[in-house]
Structure 1
């Protein structure tokens, strides 16, 4: 519902005694003069105002979320290191690798995870020893989740 002031409000009848509508308005109390109510569609109100739902997690759930976020941030930083090029060489075709932790956790054993990661990281700029170290560290961190 919308409330607003209207400058042309009348009560729907014309004054019979020759008094103008303006005079009728001025005789009313100042707080009531010129008020009217506009009803608007629900769609308009919904477009204008978005509602957000927030949730409060328990301490245990928040610690799990923080742990997961820490592993994902570590993963992001390490991938940047594995794929970084020298600052003098601008590589416009740099690869973007996406490692899905949930997908890794759904695999049956570490050997499958290791093979999957090695296939994803074939284009890494760093040495194979660095890639193997990264894979081992990632598998260790994934076990804590």
Structure 2
């Protein structure tokens, strides 16, 4: 028995192979693929890298508490050193900078030692003596919570 297909109705096997090869050359997946290497001296711009860290809930609450105390400290120091200014002068600009290091303060052994240290730092404050003492008492209370 003989089976056959007429040439007029379907392509020959060689015609199919030729057609497949032709389609493989124009495949959309392969067009536009190329590798471009950059020369070592051709680096245009380096990106800055930043290190970020995640903190737990408890650690973040401690950080927020510390930040709140330090912001309060900053505002109160501005009040102490700006309280003697007249209306014609700029408010918020101090002639001297006073730096209260909370870590140093917390590392001191006794409250009396902390009090003496703060009194020595605030000797030139323009606020009244009672304002300075109130500030020191409030700061020592806030330092206990840290």
TM-score w.r.t. structure 2 length?
0.68
SS, match of residue 36 in structure 2: strand
Structure 2 unaligned regions, length at least 5: 1-24
Equivalent residue, structure 2, for 1:114: 115
Deviation at 1:51, TM superposition (A): 1.6
Deviation at 1:37, TM superposition (A): 1.5
The 1:41/1:109 distance shift into structure 2, 3 A limit, reads farther
Greater Rg over alpha carbons, structure? 2
The 1:73/1:40 distance shift into structure 2, 3 A limit, reads farther
- In structure 2, distance between residues paired with 1:141 and 1:121: 18
Equivalent residue, structure 2, for 1:65: 63
- In structure 2, distance between residues paired with 1:40 and 1:117: 60
Deviation at 1:93, TM superposition (A): 6.9
Structure 1 unaligned regions, length at least 5: 1-27
Let me know the Cα RMSD of the aligned residues.
2.8
- How many positions carry a matched residue from both structures? 116
Asked whether the 8 Å contact 2:76–2:135 carries over to 1, the reply is yes
More strand by share: 1
Deviation at 1:41, TM superposition (A): 3.7
Equivalent residue, structure 2, for 1:135: 136
Equivalent residue, structure 2, for 1:24: none
TM-score w.r.t. structure 1 length?
0.69
Equivalent residue, structure 2, for 1:86: 86
The 1:137/1:94 distance shift into structure 2, 3 A limit, reads same
